[in-house]
């Protein structure tokens, strides 16, 4: 080990894979280091719903045997990767953070999980989330809120809060999440890790329990940009089981990380207006002036329909959710109310008892927005606004190669601070939802800390299927931020 004080659980996936392949460490040592860390810290963070420690240790034994018999090892060999508990894992419970699926165990893997297994990753348990991925703070989980590793009184962000906190808290090397309106980028920003939401269609959604099918994408959380590039390439690609997955070429993101050209950077003026916390603004300004000093072309651009994105998102997402969640009826999966009087009573009581408050609010809102007489005024209108938002981005990308914005208007807030006011909670997504409506790739990375010692997130947005340039820019910035960011430490 280069630094004797460094623990294995502090390492990146990339370093673990090479150390394991070079026989620096055994799989059993890696697994034990992460297991001890995760079991020890999970009481504080509540980031995992399930850590199947026996199967992790069994898998590590198999990996050691595989290496000892000189079999080929996959490009994620022995890197512990946690999975948001909305992705199906064969033989491991998949709860969606909900009482209704508390005892549900799928008999197949999501395509992304299968791909990780094919590359010899250690599947390191299932992470906590807002129920059915509906939320911005991870306070809507049946299993309790996730706490932020930088300040245990603060939220981790949602909905993939467990996946973000697990990486920030060094409980696993990397994790998978899903992003429908910001659920990867927002918790990545609050927890100070890298979070990537790929282009819509880049990654298969097969086995991702659907929230809003036209917006959902699976993505990654990692400690650095290199690991994100490594992981995203592995989980990307067309899948015959998901007709919305794209046949577009998947570049070798890791091999093309060094910056190819001075990408032109656009600053959407609507993302720097009122409501942006002054310390977040300051950190962003510093990043922008750093790019200016290094001769990047920076230009202000406009995304004029930005102020409509929250409203359009919350109509489209809830509309799709009301339809997707109708499959949870007490007949096919999970929880079933006891002694029903008749079929209607079964449906009604199963759903009333099984779903939490926010999920029921969304189902009602979505059902209303889709109902006859209101459809044109709400859902159709929102779809038309969606087209305007797509066009805004297209126009901006005629002038610039990438957009740079804050990920969130503020840093992590206190647990309980926004739970009483859903509108305040929804406004947390102000800089993330438009990206999903337009199907674009975006990444959040830490670019500094505020006076409360909480991480600040910077978002890079690229044109559809141009993740490569987004990674290059992020990799470049990461080197620039390194000294300043490495002065800060989590509290556990």
Cite the active site residues: 84, 159, 183
Q: How far is the CB of 436 from ligand GLN (least distance, A)?
A: 7
Q: How far is the CB of 128 from ligand GLN (least distance, A)?
A: 14
Site of interaction with ligand GLN (CB under 6 A): 133-136, 159, 179-183, 211, 317, 429
Q: How far is the CB of 182 from ligand GLN (least distance, A)?
A: 5
If the CB atoms of residues 15 and 179 are measured against ligand GLN, the closer one turns out to be 179
Q: How far is the CB of 193 from ligand GLN (least distance, A)?
A: 16
If the CB atoms of residues 224 and 429 are measured against ligand GLN, the closer one turns out to be 429
| CA 87 to mean position of chain CA atoms | 12
If the CB atoms of residues 80 and 135 are measured against ligand GLN, the closer one turns out to be 135
Distance CA 342, CA 346 (A): 6
Q: Return the structure tokens found at 13.
A: 């996936």
Q: How far is the CB of 99 from ligand GLN (least distance, A)?
A: 18
If the CB atoms of residues 183 and 287 are measured against ligand GLN, the closer one turns out to be 183
Q: Which residue number has the CB closest to ligand GLN?
A: 183
Q: How far is the CB of 113 from ligand GLN (least distance, A)?
A: 18
If the CB atoms of residues 132 and 335 are measured against ligand GLN, the closer one turns out to be 132
If the CB atoms of residues 225 and 321 are measured against ligand GLN, the closer one turns out to be 321
């Amino acid at each position: 080990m280069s630094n004797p004080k460094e623990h294995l659980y502090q390492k990146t996936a990339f370093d673990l894979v090479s150390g394991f392949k070079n026989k620096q460490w055994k799989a059993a040592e890696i697994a034990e280091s992460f297991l001890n860390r995760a079991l020890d810290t999970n009481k504080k963070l509540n980031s995992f719903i399930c850590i199947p420690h026996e199967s992790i240790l069994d898998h590590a034994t198999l990996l050691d045997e595989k290496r000892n018999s000189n079999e080929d090892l996959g490009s994620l060999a022995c890197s512990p990767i946690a999975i948001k508990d909305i992705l199906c894992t064969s033989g491991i419970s998949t709860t969606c953070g909900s009482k209704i699926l508390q005892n549900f165990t799928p008999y197949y893997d999501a395509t992304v999980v299968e791909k990780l297994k094919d590359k010899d990753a250690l599947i390191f348990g299932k992470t906590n989330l807002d129920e059915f991925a509906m939320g911005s703070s991870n306070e809507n989980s049946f299993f309790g809120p996730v706490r932020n590793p930088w300040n245990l009184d603060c939220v981790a962000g949602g909905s993939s809060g467990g996946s973000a906190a697990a990486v920030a808290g060094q409980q696993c090397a990397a994790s998978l999440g899903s992003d429908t309106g910001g659920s990867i980028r927002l918790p990545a920003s609050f927890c100070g890790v890298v979070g990537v939401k790929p282009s819509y269609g880049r990654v298969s959604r097969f086995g991702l329990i659907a929230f809003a099918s036209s917006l959902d994408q699976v993505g990654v959380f990692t400690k650095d940009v290199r690991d994100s590039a490594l992981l995203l390439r592995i989980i990307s690609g067309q899948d015959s089981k998901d007709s919305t997955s794209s046949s577009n070429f998947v570049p070798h993101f890791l091999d093309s990380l060094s910056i190819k050209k001075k990408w032109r950077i656009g600053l959407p003026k609507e993302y720097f207006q009122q409501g942006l916390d002054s310390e977040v603004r300051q950190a962003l300004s510093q990043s922008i002036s750093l790019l200016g000093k290094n001769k990047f072309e920076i230009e202000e651009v406009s995304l004029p329909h930005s102020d409509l994105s929250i409203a359009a998102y919350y109509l489209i997402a809830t509309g799709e959710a009301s339809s997707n969640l109708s499959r949870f009826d007490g007949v096919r999966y999970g929880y079933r109310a006891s002694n029903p009087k008749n079929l209607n009573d079964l449906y009604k009581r199963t759903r009333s008892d099984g779903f939490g408050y926010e999920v029921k609010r969304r189902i009602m809102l979505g059902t209303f927005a889709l109902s006859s007489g209101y459809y044109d005024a709400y859902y159709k209108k929102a779809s038309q606004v969606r087209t305007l938002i797509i066009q805004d981005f297209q126009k901006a990308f005629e002038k610039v190669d990438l957009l740079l914005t804050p990920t969130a208007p503020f840093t992590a807030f206190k647990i309980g601070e926004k739970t009483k006011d859903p509108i305040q909670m929804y406004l947390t997504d102000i800089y993330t939802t438009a990206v999903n409506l337009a199907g674009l790739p975006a990444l959040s990375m830490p670019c500094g800390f505020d006076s409360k010692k909480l991480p600040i997130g910077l978002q890079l947005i690229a044109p559809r299927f141009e993740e490569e340039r987004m990674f290059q820019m992020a990799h470049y910035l990461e080197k620039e931020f390194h000294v300043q960011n490495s002065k800060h430490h989590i509290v556990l």
